[in-house]
Amino acid sequence: MGKLFGTSGVRGVVSKEVTPELALDLGLALATHLGGEGSVVLGKDPRTSSDMLESCLISGLLSGGCDVKRLGIVPTPAVSFAVRRLNAKAGVMITASHNPPEYNGIKFWGSDGIAYTPEQEGAIERIYFDKRMKPAAWDRIGKVGAVDILPSYIDELVGVVKLKRGYKVVVDCGNGAGSLVTPYLLRKLGCEVVTLNSQLDGFFPGRGLEPSPENLGELCNVVKSLGADIGLAHDGDADRIAAVDEKGRVAEPDKLLALISAHQVRKKGDIVVTTVDASGTVDEYVGVKKGKVIRTKVGDASVAAEVRKRGAIFGGEPCGAWIFPEVHLVPDGPLAATKILELLDLTGRQLFELLDELPEHQTVRKKVACSNEKKAATMKEFKERLRKEFKGISDVLTIDGIRFSFRDGSWALVRPSGTEPYIRVTAGGKREKSVEKVAGKATKILKSLV
């Protein structure tokens, strides 16, 4: 059986891997899976290929007998919101998230507003590969209409937090879909917003789409020179968040995750879900508030499923994909932005003060180029050599990639990327030198194996 879906839907280079024909077939396959009836909401990010893929998905869905409600350009979490608000049978988002502009992708949502699980994606794959797509008869073909969902999505988010004062915020949307929401949302909450890269542009001229330190230099400078309270940034489809403190420093993702996790814990025993690639700082900080941390596979679908299963209060990944189940079970960048401001408001502190208080924990992230075909064999060999190469391992976790920890509390994760041709190495611990050493050694072994 072939595979179409990675950790975050179908993703690839446009016209090579993600073609109009594929979009058409996937639209029809989804309609077949839904029994050829009901409505599907459809959103897209501002990529140059999004209109093309949207047209094909619409044709496929209509041909399969489903009605389509076009949302136009929206952040990914607005699709999840729209599915529930409009009582749709499914949602589809056209996006390649943080990937470069030549990429695009297609991701599905269920009627509960949760991203399709690997099992649901498998059902679509089987229909696609077995060529069981079923076009409807002429009198059962679907209809298409447009819905302006963003005003009600923004209203919903405005109702979640109350701020005692307005903050001066610089918002950098990377020319992505967040441009249509976050600046307006924060203004409605009483903030003074200065925008950066917040006009839609599918060439993404402003910066790289991953909200990582190397792409946020301009935001850091603007926050500092304007004397703003904080800078906030999204990836291309605004399901992720990053923050810059008053001093113009990008908040270390693991520290920010630890802060917001602890912020969400209200009472003893509250559960926080995070992934195998998150540092131990989350456990330490959540532990102080007597909360409990549970780890899952990397990927928001896994986090969302675990949050629902455990009745967790929060689910977050160090990449900045944060789920607040009080609103919905999807990572939501604009909502995360309001939650960071709420944290500042309730503590009456600036972000840099909160960050500087956290226990020092170094995290090093590296990646080794590796083709998708070679990933499995390379990981297998790495696992076989693990205990011979690294001394003093106390624990090995293999729910997703290989996470191994040492007696001094340091740890490392070696894991093939689900969306790109890399194997990623993440290492963390209290002593910078030993963290660098472990990450360097793992990288060297992987390079020799590839």
Q: Please count the helices (runs of H) and the strands (runs of E) in the chain.
A: 14, 19
Q: Which one of 25-33, 215-223, 231-239, 260-268 is the stretch in contact with Mg ion (CB under 5 A)?
A: 231-239
Q: Which is nearer to Mg ion, 235 or 270 (CB)?
A: 235
- The reply to whether 237 sits near Mg ion by the rule CB under 5 A is yes
Q: Contacts with Mg ion: how many residues (CB under 5 A)?
A: 4
Q: Which one of 64-72, 233-241, 278-286, 369-377 is the stretch in contact with Mg ion (CB under 5 A)?
A: 233-241
Q: Which is nearer to Mg ion, 239 or 254 (CB)?
A: 239
Position among 172, 239, 245, 300 found at the interface with Mg ion (CB under 5 A): 239
Backbone angles phi, psi at 122, to 5 degrees: -60, -40
Q: Which is nearer to Mg ion, 235 or 254 (CB)?
A: 235
Q: Which is nearer to Mg ion, 330 or 368 (CB)?
A: 330
- The reply to whether 378 sits near Mg ion by the rule CB under 5 A is no
Q: Return the closest-CA partner of residue 174 out of 216, 250, 236, 245.
A: 236
Which DSSP string do the residues of 8-60 spell out, in sequence order?
Answer: TBEEEEBTTTB-HHHHHHHHHHHHHHTTS-SEEEEEE-S-TTHHHHHHHHHHH
- The reply to whether 210 sits near Mg ion by the rule CB under 5 A is no
- Are 73 and 44 within 8 A, CB to CB? yes
d(CA 280, CA 293): 10
Going by their DSSP bridges, the two strands 192-196 and 422-429 should be labelled as unpaired
Position among 59, 97, 274, 443 found at the interface with Mg ion (CB under 5 A): 97
Q: Which one of 17-25, 58-66, 96-104, 291-299 is the stretch in contact with Mg ion (CB under 5 A)?
A: 96-104
d(CA 16, CA 422): 19
For the CB of residue 348, give the shortest distance to Mg ion in the complex, in Å.
Answer: 32
Position among 45, 235, 283, 300 found at the interface with Mg ion (CB under 5 A): 235
d(CA 104, CA 237): 11
- Are 229 and 248 within 8 A, CB to CB? no
Q: Which of 8, 39, 59, 97 is catalytic?
A: 97
- The reply to whether 45 sits near Mg ion by the rule CB under 5 A is no
For the CB of residue 205, give the shortest distance to Mg ion in the complex, in Å.
Answer: 19
- Are 338 and 185 within 8 A, CB to CB? yes
For the CB of residue 446, give the shortest distance to Mg ion in the complex, in Å.
Answer: 26
Q: Return the closest-CA partner of residue 356 out of 206, 232, 246.
A: 246
Q: Which is nearer to Mg ion, 30 or 242 (CB)?
A: 242
Q: Which one of 145-153, 236-244, 250-258, 426-434 is the stretch in contact with Mg ion (CB under 5 A)?
A: 236-244
225 is an active site residue: no
Q: Residues near 357 by Cβ (< 8 Å), separated by ≥ 6?
A: none
Q: Which is nearer to Mg ion, 178 or 280 (CB)?
A: 178
Q: Which one of 81-89, 228-236, 242-250, 334-342 is the stretch in contact with Mg ion (CB under 5 A)?
A: 228-236
Strands (E), 191-342: 192-196, 230-233, 242-244, 271-275, 292-296, 314-316, 322-323
Q: Tell me which residues touch Mg ion (CB under 5 A).
A: 97, 235, 237, 239
Which amino acids are annotated catalytic? 97
